[in-house]
Structure 1
Amino acid sequence: MGTDAHVAKSCTGEQDFYGLILERIDGRPMRLARYWGQVLLVVNVASRSPLATTQLRELQSLHERYNEVGLKVMGFPCNDFGGMEPWDDGRIQDHYERTLGLSFTLFSKVSIAREPRHPLFAMLARAAEVPRDVGGVPPHARLAREPATTAGSQGPVHDNFEKFLVGRDGRLLHRFGPEIPPQAPQVLTALEQALGVARNGLSAAAASVGPSSLLPSPA
């Protein structure tokens, strides 16, 4: 698992961040370490949400635009908020991929607001320094090390389409509320800065040095 300085415990205390094993929408397991060194945009999605039409389309656009320079859009269907994702994984996959034409990575339906809570979202919420950073103010909490543990910093997810931006080094960079669409200016700026392809002319390679060297490559 690595040295203590690089361990981020999940809510169960059994796994580090990159050691989490996720289940893709088709049932295949995937260790999060596969995305080590990439920028992650983690979103809890719901197809019947009033936000779905616009935000799913914008998430797909981000995937098409930035996937090759290191952005991994990760969609996690969830029915906890208003019962807006009632289908099983098979029907969800068919709707998202065939009907809507989405190609960013989808994962199996998760529980976020009720037990057992998905460990990834538990860790993301714990890492936020403020209860709910709807404006995208960066908390800069490090998931790849020990997350915040005080009660006031838990920051539970409150609704569909919350967005967590994790940097190449496992740092939680920004958290955006549902009311902020994926292609809002502040989201694009944060993404491009994390990727090293910001409008200031940095190349993608610039993002692969510096902070990312703080973590050892997972085995």
Structure 2
Amino acid sequence: MEDTIYQFKEKTIDGEEVTLDKYKGNVCLIVNVSSKCGLTPINYTQLSAIDKQYREKGLRILGFPCNQFAGQEPGTEAEIKEFVKQYDVNFDLFSKIDVNGSKADPLYVFLKKKQSGTLLDAIKWNFSKFLVNKEGVPVNRYGPKTAPNDILPDIEKLL
């Protein structure tokens, strides 16, 4: 169990605490998101389309707002929820977290340990992505500049 995401509890963007074992049997794409990044339009547009296309096949996208990169997610949870409406986002969003440093969310500490980065394990920018298999094990990590559509072949293999 300690090698899976299922051991973690997170707060949804609405403040409800959920255990990630609710995603058992699904492939998950975990992304640190932001509203004011140059990568925001392509990522939210593609993530929303992928969610619509693959949700019934067992894909779950988990978005974690983070304001650690140039202050590009300054809004409140309510403001973030309002912002993503323009991209027709229906995937799961969580409360704002830190992904690096001493206050990094335990889920992200785990993800970085399981799928280390190039040079440093730290998350380098908004829209870093972790692909998790149906057993809850992180199997791949993608940098911020990897567009969600470029991950589709890996997602399809796991589904």
TM-score w.r.t. length of structure 1: 0.69
1:7 to 2:13 alignment: no
Question: How far 1:35 sits from its partner (Å)?
Answer: 0.3
Task: Name segments (4+ residues, structure 1) moved above 3 Å.
Answer: none
Give yes or no for contact 1:63–1:71 (8 Å, CA) kept in 2. Answer: yes
* Residue number in structure 2 paired with 1:31: 19
Aligned positions, number:
159
1:124 to 2:111 alignment: yes
Amino acid at match of 2:117: P
Percentage of matched positions with identical amino acids? 32
The higher-RCO structure (CA 8 Å, 6+ apart) is: 2
Give yes or no for contact 2:35–2:72 (8 Å, CA) kept in 1. Answer: yes
CA–CA distance in structure 1, aligned partners of residues 20 and 108 of structure 2: 13
CA deviation map 1:21-74 (0-9, x unaligned): 111001111110100111000000011000001111000011000001110001
Give yes or no for contact 2:5–2:137 (8 Å, CA) kept in 1. Answer: no
* Residue number in structure 2 paired with 1:70: 58
CA–CA distance in structure 2, aligned partners of residues 59 and 94 of structure 1: 17
* Residue number in structure 1 paired with 2:133: 167
TM-score w.r.t. length of structure 2: 0.94
Larger radius of gyration: 1
Aligned residue among 136, 142, 147 for 1:181: 147
Q: Which residues of 2 match residues 46-195 of structure 1 at below 5 A?
A: 46-97=34-85, 99-128=86-115, 130-132=116-118, 155-184=121-150, 187-195=151-159
Question: How far 1:101 sits from its partner (Å)?
Answer: 2.2
CA–CA distance in structure 1, aligned partners of residues 117 and 83 of structure 2: 33
Give yes or no for contact 1:80–1:114 (8 Å, CA) kept in 2. Answer: no
CA–CA distance in structure 2, aligned partners of residues 61 and 159 of structure 1: 22
CA–CA distance in structure 2, aligned partners of residues 37 and 179 of structure 1: 28
Amino acid at match of 1:69: K
CA–CA distance in structure 2, aligned partners of residues 101 and 35 of structure 1: 22
